[in-house]
């Protein structure tokens, strides 16, 4: 999404989920720290072949920071004013860090309940070759049989997720100092209010995963918070 937003041309190398490791080891792409796996490789990664030797970067935040340094137009990360010590910059970065904590489930661990609702449905959209890898890894990560990852009470789990999204929406509105108005075509659902940032792409990427894996949950989410999340998806679709 970052490359598209900046209007950069690129080639995509497709791989299977279980084949990421082989591709990355061959290309010298660094692993991603993981709480359970000793060695873990994740998408996306970027190979900048315009420099010698080719530069390999993994993890979306690292990629976005690198892209901003090299191509400052349409900033993704450095949306804050250029003076890194200014109070404004510090506040924006602290706020974005808060959003990131929501997504990682460190700000409100109940956000992760969404993952437990989606993960059981993911094998349906995977290629046959990836299903054993997906089931084995998620069984290890959740430390329970794959078929026991889904919450026992789905409605209660969904209420929990909704509550966290309500808090996230409130957090975002407080930053903007006015509620998002989906009826106003000039009001954008961006995390920072007026300008797109990596945080919007992080949210959109997660929603896309939910939409593809568990469309029933996505249909629910669409109705939450005045349609804010569906507007976010609509407005970011041009860069996906």
Ligand X SMILES: N[C@@H](CCC(=O)N[C@@H](CS)C(=O)NCC(=O)O)C(=O)O
Minimum CB–partner distance for residue 156 and ligand X (Å): 26
Say whether residue 17 binds ligand X (CB under 6 A).
Answer: yes
Minimum CB–partner distance for residue 60 and ligand X (Å): 4
Candidates 4-12, 40-48, 160-168, 213-221: pick the segment binding ligand X (CB under 6 A).
40-48
Interface map 51-70 toward ligand X (x if CB under 6 A): --------xxx---------
Q: Between 121 and 187, whose beta carbon lies closer to ligand X?
A: 121
Say whether residue 126 binds ligand X (CB under 6 A).
Answer: no
One of 4, 16, 32, 74 touching ligand X (CB under 6 A): 32
Q: Which is nearest to 221 in space by CA: 114, 140, 142?
A: 114
Interface map 136-165 toward ligand X (x if CB under 6 A): -x----------------------------
Q: Between 10 and 61, whose beta carbon lies closer to ligand X?
A: 61
Q: Which residues bind ligand X (CB under 6 A)?
A: 17, 20, 32, 42-44, 59-61, 137
């Amino acid at each position: 999404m970052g490359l598209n937003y900046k209007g950069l041309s690129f080639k995509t190398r497709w791989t299977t989920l279980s084949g990421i490791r082989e591709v990355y080891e061959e290309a010298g792409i660094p692993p991603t720290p993981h709480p359970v796996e000793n060695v873990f490789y994740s998408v996306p990664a970027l190979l900048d072949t315009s420099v010698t030797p080719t530069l390999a970067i993994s993890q979306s935040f690292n990629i976005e920071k690198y892209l901003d340094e090299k191509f400052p137009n349409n900033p993704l990360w450095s949306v804050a004013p250029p003076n890194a010590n200014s109070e404004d910059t510090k506040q924006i970065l602290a706020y974005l860090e808060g959003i990131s904590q929501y997504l990682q489930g460190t700000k409100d661990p109940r956000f992760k309940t969404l993952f437990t609702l989606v993960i059981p449905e993911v094998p349906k959209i995977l290629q046959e070759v990836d299903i054993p890898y997906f089931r084995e890894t998620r069984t290890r990560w959740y430390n329970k049989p794959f078929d026991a990852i889904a919450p026992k009470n789905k409605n209660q789990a969904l209420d929990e997720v909704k509550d966290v999204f309500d808090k996230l929406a409130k957090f975002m509105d407080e930053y903007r100092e006015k509620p998002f108005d989906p009826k106003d075509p000039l009001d954008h659902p961006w995390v920072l209010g007026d300008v797109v940032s990596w945080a919007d792409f992080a949210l959109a990427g997660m929603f896309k995963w939910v939409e593809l894996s568990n469309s029933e949950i996505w249909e629910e989410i669409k109705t939450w918070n005045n349609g804010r999340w569906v507007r976010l998806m609509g407005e970011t679709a041009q860069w996906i």
